Amino acid sequence: MSFLDVLPLAFVMVAGPQILSAIFLATSENWRQNSAAYVLGAAISISLVVTLVYFAGDIALGQGTTNNTLYGIILVLLLVAMVNVFRTRGETEPPKWMAKLTSANPRFSFRLGFLLMGFFPSDLLTSAAVGSYLAAQEAPWTDALPFIGLTLLILAIPSLILLAFGDRAEASLPKARDWMETNSWIINEVVLLFFIAITINNLTG
């Protein structure tokens, strides 16, 4: 099923400043409102990008564009995403805007979720790859929902852990943040390689 192919790309969407921001917001003063606003902003932007690219691909197919052309576009998107992930792998210094997260408000958190998940280079490329892949597969738009849902669930995990375990979770979140800062690029590359293999298989099959 097409949605199973794109599901692993949810990890590419969140591995990096995306999940780090979710962790920071989960430890901010108004963490419930901030985390909810962040996930809501992310939901809107991811859905928007995937939907626009999906229907653009669907229209292109209707006008005579071949499936192989779309698969070729997907490969380019994925390769550019891989280069971007590899190029930025050594950037351990957090972006300056992260300093604002401990004193964030819901409005800032919503805007951050919208911009980060919709227009951060790797996320924009990944969402576009998902939309175009589903269009090339002639799958229904609803096949994008599991991908969107899993992405949002992962973003919500820090606040869900805090809800479930309270103060005991506060010690583990910084450790998880440090691990993600060091290793997230490896997860991204592995998942992108996996999806590239699927795309090449469809292209040559």
What is the spatial distance between Cα 32 and Cα 140, in angstroms, rounded to a whole number? 34
What 8-state DSSP symbol labels residue 205? -
**How many C-beta atoms surround the C-beta of residue 2 within 10 A?**
18
Residue-level pLDDT at 127 = 93
Cβ-based neighbours of 103, under 8 Å, separated by 6 or more? 28, 29
CA distance linking residue 133 with residue 67, whole number of Å:
9
Predicted pLDDT of residue 100: 73
User: For residue range 113-156, what is the model confidence (pLDDT) as tens digits?
Assistant: 999 999 888 899 899 999 999 999 999 999 999 999 999 999 99
Chain-centre distance of CA 150, in angstroms?
9
Between CA 107 and CA 186 the distance in angstroms is 32
Distances (CA, A) of 6 to 126, 147, 160: 10, 7, 24
- Whole-angstrom Cα distance, residue 125 to residue 87? 15
Q: How far apart are CA 39 and CA 59, in angstroms?
A: 30
Burial of 154 (0-12, 13-18, 19+ CB in 10 A): middle
pLDDT at 26: 85
Residue stretches of the chain with pLDDT short of 50: 92
* Rounded Cα gap, residues 55 and 176, in angstroms: 37
Domain ranges of the chain: 2-204
- Max CA separation in the chain (angstroms): 58
Helix axes 121-136, 106-119, angle to 10 degrees: 60
Give the integer Cα–Cα distance in Å for 42 and 111. Answer: 9
